[in-house]
A = this chain, B = another copy of it.
Amino acid sequence: MSADQVLDYMAGLGREARAASRVIARATTAVKNRALLATADAIEAAADSLIAANALDLQAGRDNGLDEAMIDRLAITPAGLQAMVEGLRQVAALPDPIGAIRDMKYLPSGIQVGRMRVPLGVIGIIYESRPNVTVEAASLCLKSGNACILRGGSESIHSNRAIADCIRQGLEAAGLPQQVVQVVETTDRAAVGALISMPEYVDVIVPRGGKGLIERISRDARVPVIKHLDGICHVYVDDRADLDKAEAITLNAKTHRYGVCNAMETLLVHQGVASVFLPRIAALYADKGVELRGCEQTRAILPQAVAATEEDWGTEYLAPILSIRVVADMDAAMEHINRYSSQHTESIVTEDFTRARRFLAEVDSSSVMVNASTRFADGFEYGLGAEIGISTDKLHARGPVGLEGLTSEKYVVYGDGHIRK
């Protein structure tokens, strides 16, 4: 396709999505659930052809020299396929957020005012490799009454087309137009540029992928973006911490999984407990093969730690590496967090009520915790039932974004011929 043809094609998708968004916005809960469950059935029935389509992507990926991590994300295993199916059924089981009316109350003028939850309209999702995002994103948009346009990576185009077929079957079974969920069929990169520049057709963009992708999209988009950048998460071990809890939490926050945004990247320890706590936890990290990088005070206690540089404090390792800093007190810990945190998730370990309360109030991150592992910052763990991403922005959605983050509220007013005096 030429650049103009890509623009035309994308505008066509946009127009269709806008029209379909009006239909899905007023679809009943039963109809939306029927589409989700029928999609699940279609995926189960099409298992063989889905895995065959995925094999084409895997082969092309290997031919193009994709690294093993990429190939791994790209692969649809039988277990992964079953997880997609389960995910669809779980989203069908979630309560429908749309149409809920809250806080309906009478005002002195006699009118009754409340707020009704409504879909955003059309959501553009831009993602890389993992084909299961196609199912996840489509199901969350559908349940929240939104149309969506999905633009996956070119490396997963065969898988995504096959999944899109199943979604179309699901929509058809429920009597919904197939334009409710549209998969961009061209791998032309200009399609992304077009998708993020059509405010008349697209209400919000959700990018899912590496930092580079998200930064590029946030910079260029002419549409609001629900974005998630770094997760530079901190745990602060206070001198009034229960050190058994501190040990469990700091071990879990670093080593439960390394390549995730809610893993701890920097450990802050109060100077009053550093000489007791650090050797204890360092032994456990050594067992796991975690490299330690420490400030001077840390290295006085743990000579095996490498000297941390200024750059370390601002780095999301996503790897078995941890930076450690000994701090004078909680205020110094919060100052460090203020300066280096990506405002994703921070946790304090303390038994002190007043400090816990201050930390919760004063640390400006999307999740703030007391005596819990940062690894809990997640839509499923928070009971949202699903997650389309974790927002480190402050406007609209902050923290794990579930169905509610894909909706808005409008005011509804009931009167009986009321006029303003």
Contact assessment for A249 and B417 in the assembled complex, using a CB-CB cutoff below 8 Å:
yes
Contact assessment for B411 and A399 in the assembled complex, using a CB-CB cutoff below 8 Å:
yes
Contact assessment for B338 and A413 in the assembled complex, using a CB-CB cutoff below 8 Å:
no
Which of chain A's residues 203-250 have a Cβ closer than 8 Å to chain B? 203-204, 224, 242, 244-245, 248-249
CA distance A367 to B409 in the complex (A): 9
Contact assessment for A113 and B413 in the assembled complex, using a CB-CB cutoff below 8 Å:
no
Residues on B with C-beta less than 8 A from A109 are 376, 381
Contact assessment for B420 and A256 in the assembled complex, using a CB-CB cutoff below 8 Å:
yes
Q: Which of B105, B417, B418, B419 contacts A242 (CB 8 A)?
A: B417
Which of chain A's residues 311-366 have a Cβ closer than 8 Å to chain B? 338, 347, 360-362, 364-366
CA distance A244 to B419 in the complex (A): 12
Q: Does A63 contact B (CB under 8 A)?
A: no
- Number of this chain's copies in the assembly equals 2
Contact assessment for B420 and A381 in the assembled complex, using a CB-CB cutoff below 8 Å:
yes
Produce 1/0 per residue, A388-400, CB < 8 A to B: 0000001110111
Closest to A106 in B: B383
| Given A256-B419, A364-B25, A411-B400: A372 touches B248 (CB 8 Å cut-off) | no
Contact assessment for B99 and A373 in the assembled complex, using a CB-CB cutoff below 8 Å:
no
Which of chain A's residues 369-393 have a Cβ closer than 8 Å to chain B? 369-373, 375-377, 381-383
Residues on B with C-beta less than 8 A from A383 are 105, 107, 113
Q: Does A45 contact B (CB under 8 A)?
A: no
Selecting from A114-122, A285-293, A294-302, the interface stretch reads A114-122
Residues on B with C-beta less than 8 A from A408 are 394-395, 398
CA distance A252 to B417 in the complex (A): 10
CA distance A394 to B21 in the complex (A): 14
Would you give the shortest CB distance from A315 to chain B, in whole angstroms? 19
Contact assessment for B420 and A376 in the assembled complex, using a CB-CB cutoff below 8 Å:
yes
Contact assessment for B410 and A376 in the assembled complex, using a CB-CB cutoff below 8 Å:
no
Q: Which of B120, B249, B251, B381 contacts A395 (CB 8 A)?
A: B120
Q: Does A276 contact B (CB under 8 A)?
A: no
Closest to A375 in B: B420
A-B CB proximity, top 5 nearest: A372-B415, A245-B417, A252-B419, A375-B420, A369-B413
What 9 new A-B contacts, CB under 8 Å, besides A25-B364, A107-B381, A376-B418? A26-B361, A113-B382, A118-B364, A252-B419, A347-B413, A368-B413, A372-B414, A373-B415, A396-B396
